[in-house]
Amino acid sequence: MRGQGSTGRVRAVCGRAGWAVADATVVARRYLAHLVRKPDEIVGTLMIPVLAVLLFGFVFGEAMGAAMGVDGDDYRDFLMPGLFALTMAFGIGNTTIAVVTDVGRGVVDRFRTLPMAPSALLAGRGMADVVAALVDLAVLVGMGLLIGWRWHLGVGPALAALVLLLWLRAAFTWIGIYLGLVVRGPEAAMKLFALVFPLAMVAETFVPARMVPVWVAPVAEWNPLSATVLACRELFGNTTVVGEGWVAQNAVLMAVVWPLVLLVVFVPLSVARYRRLSR
């Protein structure tokens, strides 16, 4: 009898988990359908990285490369992994604005009245954003190939680098979800998005950490974005300029650990905030 009771509980838990996944998938499809109807959101996310490719790759690339002791082509190899990660970071803004808009329009309240898993709305938002990020990466990889960027260590390591980028985006999505549940409106969300720029600039995105002021270098080295950038350069084989410091020597490990830490922090915060919305 005890065995049957345990089996029943396991089946119930599995059933609830399957129900939650199915509901989250439906919510994700809703968000993606809206995104297809509003491609300007994808264009807006890609605009800054695309302009950065043109400006830093061709206008300032020779000067930046000379400062680092490499030529323009090598600098573009160095640059592209940084721009891939930069795009993942800028996705925080889209997530925050989308969530705060849904809250303001009562969409979240309507979902809460439906017979669906309580976690489905937030999880579905996260799933949809990761899928959208995959589209962003595909566009940027294609653009990188057009300007001469290449990966040099085979398909397997390159795919691993893309997985790490999406893993980072998943973590940043939950930061955006939490901020979207906290701020009062889209205007406030836009102002918060300005905080992403220091995160993106004080990192290994455009120049190595050793080239920034000494008092900023530790911040750049331990920036979660830097770990993913350095790991991607290692996996793509874009190591014309080798990073220094402990994080650079353990970049792949830290590219896994940092997003995990962010998820451990922001998933519970988002769920707790979501539960308090109607109180």
Residue 91, token pair as written in the block: 């996705």
Give start and end residues of each alpha helix (H) in 105-250: 107-112, 120-146, 155-182, 186-193, 196-201, 217-222, 224-236, 246-249
Residue entry with tokens 């640059």: 79
86 vs 109, more confident: 86
Identify which of 136, 141, 209 has the alpha carbon closest to the alpha carbon of residue 169.
136
Is the distance from CB of 125 to CB of 91 less than 8 angstroms?
Answer: no
Backbone angles phi, psi at 121, to 5 degrees: -65, -50
Q: What pLDDT, on the 0 to 100 scale, is given for residue 4?
A: 47
Confidence category of residue 12, pLDDT binned at 50, 70, 90: very low
Confidence category of residue 236, pLDDT binned at 50, 70, 90: very high
pLDDT above 90 coverage of the chain, percent:
19
Q: Which amino acid would we find at residue 117?
A: A
pLDDT digits (tens, 9 = 90+) for 165-197: 999 999 999 998 998 888 877 777 677 777 777
Q: What pLDDT, on the 0 to 100 scale, is given for residue 54?
A: 78
Residues 208 and 210: their CA atoms lie apart, in Å, by: 5
Q: What pLDDT, on the 0 to 100 scale, is given for residue 162?
A: 94
Confidence category of residue 252, pLDDT binned at 50, 70, 90: very high
The residues spanned by each domain of the chain are 2-275
